[in-house]
Amino acid sequence: VYTPQVLQRVLDGALLLVKARYGMLSILNDEKRTETLLSSGMTPEEFQGFHEIQRGDILRAVANRPGALRVADFPGYIRRIGLPEFRAPVPISALLVVPVGPLESGTAHIYVGHSEQGVEFSAEDEETLEVFASLAALAIANSMNYETERQARNYWQAMVDMLPVGIWAFETENLNLTSINREALRIVGHQYTEGMSLDEVRAKRGLRYPDGRDVPTEDRPVSRVIRTGETIKAEELTVIGLDGKSFPGLFSAVPIYSSQGEMSDVILTMEDLSPREDMERLRSEFLGMVSHELRTPLTSIKGSAATALSSSASLALGEARLLFRIIDQQADQMHSLINNLLDLTRIEAGQLAVSPEAADLGDIIEQARNTFESRHWNGSLEVDCPAGLPRVMADEQRVAQVLDNLLSNAAKFSPEQSTINIRVAHKEPYVEVSVTDQGKGVPTIHLSTIFAKFTRVDDSESGGFKNGHGLGLAICKGIVESHGGRIWVDSNGQGEGARFTFTLPVAEEVSVSELSPETVNLDSERTMVLIIDDDPQILRYLTRTLMEAGYETVATEDSSRVEHLLATQRPQLTLLDLTLSDTDAFSLIKRTPALLETPVIFISGNSEDRNITRALEAGADDYIIKPFSPTELIARIRAALRKQRRAANPVPQPYVLKDLVIDFSEHMVSIAGERVHLTATEYRLLYELALSAGRVLTHSQLLDRVWGPEYASDGVSLLRAFVRNLRKKLGDDAKVPSYILTEPRVGYRMATADGNLGRNSAQASRLVHKGR
């Protein structure tokens, strides 16, 4: 028997979450017969109409369809799937249907609908409702095992507390507050408690219309719903505190009716619009700045061109060159701004093109130094790059872009004739690069936001003008995180200079040579990641990001379930929020030592060194600071998993055959003592062949292990091209090979380390020649 109260609260919550007009919840038994049907947003008479009409075919048609259903034209959809004419007791234009999950004796679905023509549900609505439905399934299942309404209410409260909107529930008989969720308390403060009267709630906050008029008591959302029975959707009002402080809010309210048709409760939702308004303000400032920055060079270009065209006499060579130099410089300025805008767009979309390969960081720094000094910097630039640094995994052009941005930023805020320092240090498993200036420094209030887009620091000497576009540091952050590194700033305050530091993984950290058949099989076994975080938005973001990257996930906001999930789900890695609602990460690790049996990555918005140090000392494998990009998250997860696999799987002994030596620990290949420079893909291919020396690896096996399963069926031409290049670099004659042998129409094998080709040279030559 399902608990009606829990089912009704699930449905009411779903309706409010996506701001729909009507909602229904159905449970179909195993014979696809309707066992339970509930409604929300309808009068008892409207709901009764659904019982009196033939609705079974429609419910069964939806239940038989896998996954969610989102349609913009519900009547048209009914006609398209060939069902009889369906006249609903209430007008339904758009429909969103989401399965709640398998139940013990049937399947449940949530149906929500809009009544206004042209109003549709978005993909975000669908995703939000699917996450909510998965939580609802747990609440429904657990409600069957508890005997009291109090326990069922606890599960409902846990669900509501995870929602990213403030939710209030008032009962209409005594006009008391019966429930308030965590987000509502965060928005308005903790001075509200369950049991307070509606009058007490009203007394703590005032409401105003957007035009500045006070909202009368009888027209406040809850009072209006009680008075009129109407549903209020997305009404913008300003909330005024007793201290006079205000913030913009978005309110919705809906009446809840009892089985006797009487209004029993009113549910109110509230969103704080302040973050949106702050972003809109920053965006407006940014657009104004971009307009100015584009108009200024255009004015110079137009003026120079007009001067050249309108001159009655021939221009002297010097004058002409001056005009063309102005046009060239201003065009470069516009080109730079446009490129920055495009880069930022790609970063936000997760589509920034970064191709890291093993690279010499010293060469990249020298390139950036030459570019910077060519701009007539009047101060000095000192570089401290010690010899013997390991190679890093870097897209050379992008890392040079980061250095160029940081150096330009340092010069912009530094006095003439001052010194800018670049220092490099190896701090396993990263190489750390810092750019330090002697300029104006970064005020403490800007340290946490300086890498956000549109952020610009006030320059008091220019009358409050904010320098720059507010793009450069945001782009630096996106590029560094796409490499799997971090970037941060240190400054003792105004006038004390600043030090910008970023990290890049050393080549070993991103080498995929460890991904051999003995260590991991990406095709047959997907990695399970446990996510522990009490923020529903972060949970959704992490779950979606990891699933898109091919990982399986299990998520919880309840620390008491961690030990059970470790035992039943056996995750290979854990993402752990530093601060949870009922404990902290350090206490959780202390009472659940099994967490440290697999890699643990801390997630936190706190960037203080002492917290990072404490986390690593507690056993964390890494520490990610919010906000972070999907690319950074996946790169750090892969690095942690590779580190664990290396510990569990010792590096093979070097492969030696005649003049060929493959040193797996150094990821280095040499012929007769001379190093052979291979690309990352060429090294992976050679590694796979050498590790299986003496055994044939088929085309499909090599393509799967080196390029991925999507290439296994039709990438033979690609594989042959790489083998041809690899043989050329090794000096291996394809007609009489010494190292890489061809098995015709099958694949390739590496000669065993003792030089035994497994068949005589003439036969091998014929097979290789025929196979090519």
The whole-number pLDDT of residue 372 equals: 82
What pLDDT, in 10s, does the model give residues 577-631? 988 877 888 889 888 888 988 899 999 877 677 788 888 888 888 888 876 777 7
Q: Is 30 helix (H, G, I), strand (E, B) or coil?
A: coil
Residue 203 has what pLDDT? 85
- Residue 723, pLDDT > 60, answer yes
Percent of the chain clearing pLDDT 90 (strictly above): 12
- Per DSSP, the residues of 537-581 read HHHHHHHHHHHHTT-EEEEES-GGGHHHHHHHH--SEEEEESB-S
How high is the pLDDT of residue 452?
75
pLDDT at res. 628? 73
Name the nearest CA neighbour of 21 among 95, 124, 85, 129: 95
> Are 322 and 386 part of one and the same domain?
no
Return d(Cα 370, Cα 565) in angstroms, integer.
Answer: 54
The span from the CA of 504 to the CA of 482, in Å, is 10
Looking at the structure, do residues 366 and 501 belong to the same domain, yes or no?
A: yes
99: CATH: 3.30.450.40
pLDDT tens digits, one per residue of 424-467: 998 877 899 999 998 888 887 777 778 876 665 555 443 333 45
Q: What is the pLDDT of residues 469-508, one digit of tens each?
A: 567 788 888 888 888 888 999 888 777 889 999 999 887 5
Contact yes or no for 307/323 (Cβ under 8 A): yes
Same-domain status, 504 and 583: no
Which range in 128-137, 298-307, 314-323 is most confidently predicted, on average pLDDT? Answer: 128-137
Of 272, 298, 317, the one marking the end of a domain is 272
At residue 529 the predicted structure's pLDDT band, cuts being 50, 70 and 90, is very high
Q: Beta-carbon neighbour count of residue 216 at 10 Å?
A: 10
- Coil, strand, or helix at residue 527? coil
Backbone dihedral region for residue 441 (phi beyond 0: left; psi -120 to 50: alpha; all else: beta): left
Taking only the tens place, the pLDDT of each residue in 263-316 is 999 999 988 888 777 767 766 666 666 665 667 678 778 888 888 887 666 777
On whether both 8 and 153 belong to a single domain, the answer is yes
Digit-coded pLDDT (tens) for 535-581: 777 888 888 888 888 888 998 888 888 988 888 888 999 999 988 87
Task: Give the number of other Cβ atoms within 10 Å of residue 573's Cβ.
Answer: 21
The verdict on residue 673 lying in a domain is yes
For residue 517, being part of any structural domain is answered with no
Rounded Cα distance between 453 and 629, Å, is 13
**Residue 34 CB burial class (10 angstroms; 0-12, 13-18, ≥19):** middle
pLDDT of residue 524: 31
User: What single-letter DSSP state applies at residue 358?
Assistant: E
**Residue 772 confidence (pLDDT):** 35
CB atoms within 10 A of CB 681: 16
Residue 654 DSSP label: P
Residue 193 lies in a domain: yes
d(CA 345, CA 341): 6
Q: What span, in angstroms and rounded, lies between the C-alpha atoms of 726 and 645?
A: 27
Are 488 and 480 in contact by the 8 Å Cβ rule? The answer is: no
- Give the per-residue pLDDT at 103: 66
Q: What is the pLDDT of residues 72-100, one digit of tens each?
A: 988 888 888 777 776 778 888 899 999 88
Range of the domain at 179: 164-272
For the segment 328-363, what is each residue's pLDDT rounded down to a tens digit? 877 876 776 777 677 767 666 666 667 788 888 888
From CA 536, how far away is CA 555, in angstroms rounded?
10
d(CA 527, CA 572): 6
Tens digit of each residue's pLDDT (9 = 90 or more) over 31-64 = 656 667 888 888 888 887 776 554 556 666 666 6
Q: Please state the domain count of the chain.
A: 6
pLDDT of 286 reads 62
DSSP states of 477-517 = HHHHHHTT--EEEE--STTS--EEEEEEEBHHHH--TT--T
Is the separation of the CB atoms in 580 and 561 below 8 Å?
A: no
Give the Å distances, CA to CA, from 102 to 5, 11, 495: 19, 17, 62
> Which of 157, 190, 207 is a domain's end point?
157
**pLDDT tier at 762, thresholds 50, 70, 90:** very low
Angle, alpha carbons 584-588-590 (nearest 5°) = 120
Side-chain half-sphere exposure of 346, counting CA atoms within 13 A: 15
Average pLDDT over residues 158-168: 78
Whether 104 and 56 map to the same domain: the answer is yes
Using a 10 angstrom Cβ sphere, with 0-12 exposed, 13-18 middle and 19 or more buried, the burial of residue 210 is exposed
Which tops the pLDDT comparison, 151 or 669?
669
CATH at 228: 3.30.450.20
Q: Which residue has the higher pLDDT, 534 or 399?
A: 399
| Least-confidence region, from 112-126, 137-151, 451-465, 684-698 | 451-465
Residues 732 and 639 in one domain: no
Indicate the residue among 326, 348, 370 that finishes a domain.
348
State residue 239 phi and psi, 5-degree precision.
-95, 130
- Residue 15's identity, in one-letter code, is L
Span 147-166, average pLDDT: 66
Q: Is 381 among the domain residues? A: yes
pLDDT at 155 over 70: no
CATH code, domain with 497:
3.30.565.10
Q: Give the end-to-end CA distance of the chain in Å, rounded to a whole number.
A: 69
Mean pLDDT, to the nearest integer, of 639-647? 76
CATH of the domain at 621: 3.40.50.2300
Q: Would you say 697 and 748 are in contact if contact means Cβ atoms under 8 Å apart?
A: yes
Domain co-membership, 9 together with 153: yes
Answer whether residue 277 is part of any domain. Answer: no
For all residues of the chain together, what is the average pLDDT?
79
What is the Cα–Cα distance from 546 to 548, expressed in whole angstroms?
A: 5
Q: Are 91 and 42 a contacting pair, CB within 8 Å? A: no
Are residues 149 and 188 located together in one domain of the fold? no
pLDDT score, position 321? 82
CA distances in angstroms from 657 to 172, 218, 675, 750, 754, listed in the order given: 86, 90, 15, 10, 7
| CATH number of the structural domain spanning residue 316 | 1.10.287.130
In tens, the pLDDT along 245-254 reads 888 889 999 9
Residue 323 banded pLDDT, cuts 50, 70, 90:
confident
- Residue 353 inside a domain? The answer is no
Whether residues 596 and 575 fall in one domain:
yes
Q: Measured between alpha carbons, how far is 343 from 166 in angstroms, rounded to an integer?
A: 36
**Measured distance CA(105)–CA(108) in Å, rounded:** 10
Q: What is the pLDDT of residue 590?
A: 87
User: Are residues 606 and 730 located together in one domain of the fold?
Assistant: no
Q: Are residues 26 and 151 in the same domain?
A: yes
Whether residue 551 lies inside any domain: the answer is yes
Instruction: Give every strand in the sheet of 499-505, ordered side by side.
Output: 380-384, 419-427, 430-436, 499-505, 487-490
| Contact between residue 572 and residue 595 where contact means Cβ atoms under 8 Å apart | no
Q: What is the pLDDT of residue 575?
A: 94
CATH number assigned to the domain comprising residue 716: 1.10.10.10
**Domain assignment of residue 611, yes or no:** yes
Q: In terms of domains, do 369 and 506 share one?
A: yes
Are 130 and 100 a contacting pair, CB within 8 Å?
A: no
Residue 421: pLDDT band with limits 50, 70, 90: very high
